[in-house]
Amino acid sequence: MVLRLSASAADFETAFAALVEARREADEDVSLVVREVIKAVRRDGDIALRAYTRKWDRHDLDRTGWQIDRDDLEKAFRELVPDLRVALELASRRIAAYHEKQLPTDSEALDDAGVRLGARWLPIESAGIYVPGGRAAYPSSVLMNAIPAAVAGVSRVVMMTPMPDGVPNPLVLAAAYLANVDEVRPIGGAQAIAALAYGTETIRRVDVVTGPGNAWVAEAKRQVFGVVGIDMVAGPSEIVIVADGQNDPDWIAADLLSQSEHDPTSQSILITDDAGFADRASAAVLAQLGSLATSAVARLAWENNGAIILVDALEDAVPLIDALAPEHLQIATERPRDLFDRVAHAGSVFLGRLTPEAIGDYVAGPNHVLPTGRRARFSSGLSVLNFMKRTSFIELDDKALREIGRAAVTLAEAEGLPAHAASVARRLNWNSRSWDDAN
């Protein structure tokens, strides 16, 4: 039975807090296993990758190959059925167009003190993207990770994806071809992340690692952060849907199940001000589960992590949304922007009755790699900026140095750093120890 909460109930705050704080991510056992995998890859390189791939994906890299050839990627793309090829091309164009608008511009200006200040943006040199290959094939994840890297100007993109039994997924290969991925490696799990971060005899290390994965992949990204940059530590998928009673309950049920079918730990929450609609949507979920091909996973997720929350008015949903800070927020109301304008924390927002979250997973354009586990409070979805870095620059002439130099010397002396003070004062022909005499 799915969790039902009423905002008017006496125990609502306690029950809602438990829902917000519910832990659905990796435990200590995962952390320990990942630490050992990373240690082994750092120590043994290709030997460790070969052993882990044989153990968990049941194929020998020396036989099946350490890299998928570009010709094989093109073959997979050319052999797609026409409708699927057209859909991937449409998604690719829209994702590229959206991310091109994110490109930052360099800046340079002379301030009132005569100091020239600016910032220059450059792409990182190499990026590693991880594409899951367990429960399902995700060509959309290839596009969502590789295209922003290409738009940013990254010169080398390496894709890691598990290939159980050594059999590549043609959809994933086709998407890699379309996104111009430079290297496709049939390696998954924490060992793939370790190889990207530290390098092996065969695989050169990268600067940034992005992309979703299971608990072991997420934990590996957490542990290598600092050696490489990462997009985020992503957990199980989640959606909050705010819906009034004017919605079709079958539509909303499908929207809820679109997240539940990802994984047994996924979370789908419906917030509504209409008790009758809550009942109809709940019944529709159960009815659809009866015929859903992914019902085994979706049912577990819905029953264990799903929730329906009844509020007195839709406006009351706003603080609940901000507390949950969901990965996906769907506002299916007559005037969705009235609520959207008041929401502070959400990874990506889908406005109106005709904008299901699933459209954002594929063809809308914005990235579907988004913060989970309440991390939308302080982070954003994957973007071009994840593959770029900003370098500030400063240029002073004699007048500008004299304008601001005295303050720098004063602060350096106050911090007990005489060499800092001297590096400025000597240029001003000042003795920082006898400042008053110099003036």
Indicate which residue of 261, 327, 357, 368 is catalytic: 327
What order of strands is seen across the sheet that includes strand 208-210? 183-185, 156-160, 126-130, 208-210, 229-230
Query: Quick one: which of 27, 24, 30, 31 has its CA closest to 300?
Result: 24
The tokens of 399 are what? 């007048």
The answer to whether residue 327 is catalytic is yes
The answer to whether residue 262 is catalytic is no
DSSP annotation string for 190-258: HHHHHHHHH--SSS---SEEE----HHHHHHHHHHBTTBEES----S-EEEEEE-TTS-HHHHHHHHHH
Residue 2 has phi, psi (to 5 degrees) of -70, 150
Single-letter amino acid, residue 109: A
Indicate which residue of 59, 99, 262, 328 is catalytic: 328
Task: Tell me the β-bridge partners of 238.
Answer: 267
The tokens of 281 are what? 């949507």
User: Which positions ≥6 away from 375 have C-beta within 8 Å?
Assistant: 232, 233, 325
**Greatest CA separation found in the chain?**
88
Residues with active-site annotation:
327-328
